Amino acid sequence: MEQALVLIEFLFELRKQGINVSAHEWMGLMEAMSKGLHNSSLDGFYRLARCICVKDVSNFDAFDQAFLAYFKDVYVDVAAVTNDLLSWLRDPKKFEGLSEEEKKLLEELNVEELKKMFEERLKEQKERHDGGGKWIGTGGKSPFGHGGFHPSGVRVGGPGGGKSAMQVAEMRRYRDYRKDRVLDVRQIDVALRGLRRLGREGAVEELDIEETVNATCKNAGDLDLVFTPPKRNRMKLILLMDVGGSMDAYSLMVERLFTAASRAGRFASFEHYYFHNCVYENVFEDAAFRKPVSVTELIARTSRDERLVVVGDALMHPGELMSPGGSIYFYHHNASAGATWLRRLEDHYRYTAWLNPEPKRYWPRTTIEAIASIFPMYHLSLEGLEEAIRYLVRGGQRPDPSQATPFS
């Protein structure tokens, strides 16, 4: 309890940085500390607190910022590397090398001694230094700096010389895990795991531990094994992909999404089709558009509970979307407007989502905005995909297309 009161401000600092830490995680951290899992050290506490309090790797940087803000007076200021010192180190003088005898004379220091000496040098050094054996500089045989040689030194800025630095003292150069980064297959694969609807079906072949315990207790302690059907993902997914034209620039991104979605066992049922710019009376099993599938037939043979995901930039001439006969193909006459077919799809399926790779600032005042009024539209990024999956699984409020930032 005393630990919880002492560190309560750290809890609020984590929340200030946007990390959702509940009382449950916090009390878990206190319990872990009471058991000595932090090894009574600041580094140990850092690792323990991050392990328990951070549930998403994208919050690692926010955790570091909160940790620094709360513990900033412990030792960070003492070991700060000044801008002047770093500017001296950007222009090193060449290291002339040492003989084997000179190298043997170099003192090998442990980490604690190095840290202590480094802090003393920071306080005392007032000017640039090159080629010596004491100060923070370049070349030479000093344990501090770069471009020289010391079997157990601290590299400060610049490249390593003998590739034997015991530690590195440089500016923190890490950045947040950004949620607007282009997706790779692994990120998509991890995100799609949230698009699951588990249920028990099939043969009775899986041991149910909880029910076995209950049945054994009711049987006066005599073992009573209970078997149930295994859990399987009942989610059925239909994927429509815009191909060609302006989508060529995003082909790699769509291929990654398709690769992750089509992996065996990901869904109870998975169908994919192609279209160009807008859906009309047909979608196609191949990108060459030689194998048409009637949209009317697709709607008739699939249930409302299947999830429909459309991937495309939704950019086209307004006539393609709004007018009968407005298809981009000269030889094709669509009796109904593209928007009509999109509404039929959206009306049939209970949950639909449109993933758009175009940056949101280009959405307003285009056909994107018109389609976003029909389909719930999300940006094809890690954050957008996670939002789309939450909507497809749980429903809820649809995204507001007017929230996109207008292009200026």
Report the CATH number that the domain containing residue 277 is assigned in CATH.
3.40.50
33 and 106 assigned to the same domain: no
pLDDT digits (tens, 9 = 90+) for 347-373: 999 999 999 999 988 898 889 999 999
47 and 130 assigned to the same domain: no
273 and 245 assigned to the same domain: yes
- In terms of pLDDT, which residue wins out, 149 or 54? 54
225 and 123 assigned to the same domain: no
Domain count for the chain: 4
229 and 241 assigned to the same domain: no
Residue 190 covered by a domain = no
* Predicted local distance difference test score (pLDDT) of residue 175: 43
* Predicted local distance difference test score (pLDDT) of residue 252: 87
pLDDT, mean over the chain: 75
Contacts of 132 (CB under 8 A, 6+ apart): 140, 141, 142
pLDDT digits (tens, 9 = 90+) for 63-93: 888 888 887 755 444 444 555 555 555 555 5
Residue 127 covered by a domain = yes
* Predicted local distance difference test score (pLDDT) of residue 107: 47
Task: Kindly tell me if the per-residue pLDDT of 159 is higher than 60.
Answer: no
Can you tell me the distance from the alpha carbon of 116 to that of 109, in angstroms, rounded to the nearest whole number? 11
pLDDT digits (tens, 9 = 90+) for 230-241: 666 678 899 999
Domain residues for the domain of 219 are 203-233
Q: CA distances (Å), 279 to each of 69, 225, 296, 309, in order?
A: 52, 53, 12, 13
* Predicted local distance difference test score (pLDDT) of residue 129: 58
Angle between helix 42-53 and 60-71 (nearest 10): 140
3-state secondary structure of 289: coil
Sheet holding 292-294, edge to edge: 292-294, 282-284, 269-275, 236-242, 307-311, 352-356, 377-379
The reported pTM is: 0.53
Can you tell me the distance from the alpha carbon of 370 to that of 331, in angstroms, rounded to the nearest whole number? 25
Can you tell me the distance from the alpha carbon of 242 to that of 244, in angstroms, rounded to the nearest whole number? 7
Can you tell me the distance from the alpha carbon of 24 to that of 11, in angstroms, rounded to the nearest whole number? 12
Can you tell me the distance from the alpha carbon of 92 to that of 149, in angstroms, rounded to the nearest whole number? 13
Question: Chain-centre distance of CA 371, in angstroms?
Answer: 27
